[in-house]
Amino acid sequence: MNLNLSSILHLQPPSYERKKHYEFGRDLGTGTYGTVKKARALDTGNDVAVKIILKKTVKGHEDMVEKEIGVLKNLSHPNIVNFLDWFESRDKYYLVFDLASGGELFDRICEKGAFTENNAATIMKEVIEAIEYLHSKNVVHRDLKPENLLYKDETEDSKLMIVDFGISKTMESEDQVLTTMCGSYGYAAPEVLLRRGHGKPVDMWSIGIITYTLLCGYAPFQAENDQQLVAEIARCNVVFHQRYWKDVSVEARDFIKCLLRAHPEKRLTATEALQHKWITTETGNNADLLDNVKEGFNAKRMFKKTIRAVAAANRLRTMTRTNTEMTNSDAGSLASSLATPEIQQQQQQEQQQAQQAEAVVPVTAEKS
């Protein structure tokens, strides 16, 4: 059969044939590289989540998608989202996963009638067990944050799932040093921000940030601007404010401090964290922390933080492009590199958006 030019131009990659096995539905979320849609697998009738990545957004870095697929195909753990299939069109990649329909971690907590320290320890144990499994496979997630912790379903005993392996990395050896600027602002470890090279300990830093936030509703480092925030993170001066931490045990605070250490080699590993007293025994107080958590994590603050997170993510990408030869020796030198005219303009725009957010009716933030 002879093909005319029009037919040739409309040819799809061979794997595109598999798209017909799915019936696509509503959007579940929108991120930097595309969207996540709900779909139904026609052969099983099961609902799935399809991550759709625009090829133009990863142009020149197509191997990033291939690596994500390579990582996911070799993983099998009850607390890690299950990868099912993939295919591509001329302009998109499609990655198919089990649907985690139970909602984000913090949203689920805020819907509860009560939330205690022991509840928090149980949650973090699930997360750390999954990270221990990843690290045993030499996989570093590199983007742990509450938005990437989703419940599998809406049942009371639903499993908590780690999702989004878009910037995860399989290390070739235990001592390999990763150098890519990665992670989410507020959860990235000091060695990432300072470009000193990183590895598995970056995930444990993120777990420390998540645990702190889980117990009080706000992040441990909240400086007024980027320069101060980077310096504050580098110092690792963790403060437990009396008003919000008076009902939290010494063991919980020690667990957090053992994770939020400036030197990666001094942080607890995943295996060591699972052996910490706060995780292994119910040492926590039975006080209900829910009111404090809700106060610190209400919808309006989430909306404002989402605005700031988008601007901050843009700044991190700017740093990656413009500071590829940067070899910072301390937080001060990094802070100086951040204060470019472009970033100062972004900060001004961010402040204007935050002021506008004050007058906005609270909304539920989309997953980023």
Domains of the chain, first to last: 20-98 (3.30.200.20), 105-176+183-298 (1.10.510.10)
Catalytic one among 43, 91, 143, 330? 143
Q: Is 17 helix (H, G, I), strand (E, B) or coil?
A: helix
In 137-264, where do the E strands start and end? 139-140, 149-151, 160-162, 169-170
Question: Is-catalytic flag, 143?
Answer: yes
CA distance 255 to 120: 12
Instruction: Give residue 303's pLDDT.
Output: 46
Instruction: Give residue 1's pLDDT.
Output: 44
Half-sphere exposure of residue 151: CA atoms within 13 angstroms, side-chain side: 15
Instruction: Give residue 282's pLDDT.
Output: 82
CA distance 275 to 280: 6
CA distance 190 to 99: 33
Task: State how far the alpha carbon of 340 is from the alpha carbons of 11, 188, 319, in Å.
Answer: 45, 21, 10
| Contact between 66 and 49 (Cβ < 8 Å) | no
Instruction: Give residue 99's pLDDT.
Output: 96
Q: Which ranges of the chain have pLDDT less than 70?
A: 1-10, 32, 298-368
Predicted TM-score (pTM) of this structure: 0.78
- Digit-coded pLDDT (tens) for 72-92: 999 999 999 999 999 999 999
**55 annotated to bind ligand:** yes
Which residues lie across from 196 on neighbouring strands? none
- Digit-coded pLDDT (tens) for 158-198: 999 999 998 899 998 888 999 888 888 889 999 999 999 99
